[in-house]
């Protein structure tokens, strides 16, 4: 990212994949905060399900620090919560979404009812 022209190229990191790859997501988000517009947010625990990812708040990612930084991102537009499906996952996709939503609510985020 240091060598791209950030007038034309922006950054949309996947927080869980950074953690899985051995990189500190907090440092990456901090270093590139001005050019972050979109984030894929998932947690990583190295477990047997969901390709080693997990619902938010159940893994190793320092999500609260990442979210605090993203609150300050001048161009942040979209935070997409995701979880890679795997075979024989222990709970349903709906349950994983509810866990992640509760985690975000516990961090102070509000959701509109639809």
Per-residue pLDDT, 87: 79
**Pairing of the two strands 53-54 and 43-44:** antiparallel
Per-residue pLDDT, 2: 78
8: how many CB neighbours lie within 10 A of its CB? 6
Average pLDDT, the chain: 92
Task: Summarize pLDDT for 27-60 with one digit per residue, the tens.
Answer: 999 999 999 999 999 999 999 999 999 999 999 9
Per-residue pLDDT, 77: 86
Does the pLDDT value for residue 85 go beyond 70?
yes
Q: With 0-12 CB in 10 A as exposed, 13-18 as middle and 19+ as buried, what is 39?
A: buried
Classify the C-alpha dihedral 9-3-70-98 as positive or negative: positive
Q: What is the mean pLDDT of residues 8-22?
A: 93
- 92 versus 87: the higher-pLDDT residue is 92
Per-residue pLDDT, 113: 67
What pTM did the predictor assign? 0.88
Residue 86 to residues 3, 48, 97, Cα–Cα distance (Å)? 36, 9, 15
Does the pLDDT value for residue 11 go beyond 80?
yes
Q: Which of 77, 64, 85 is nearest to 15 (CA)?
A: 64
Distance between CA atoms of residues 98 and 23, nearest Å? 27
Q: What percent of the chain clears pLDDT 90, i.e. is strictly above it?
A: 75
């Amino acid at each position: 990212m240091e060598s791209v022209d950030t007038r034309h190229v922006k950054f949309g990191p996947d927080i869980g994949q950074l953690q899985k790859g051995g990189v500190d997501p907090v440092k990456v988000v901090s270093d590139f905060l001005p050019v972050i517009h979109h984030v894929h947010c998932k947690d990583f625990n190295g477990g047997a399900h969901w390709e080693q990812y997990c619902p938010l708040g159940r893994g190793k990612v320092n999500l609260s620090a990442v979210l605090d930084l993203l609150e300050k991102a001048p161009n942040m537009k979209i935070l997409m919560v995701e979880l890679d499906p795997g075979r024989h996952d222990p709970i349903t996709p709906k349950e994983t979404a509810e866990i992640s939503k509760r985690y975000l609510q516990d961090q102070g985020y509000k959701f509109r009812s639809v």
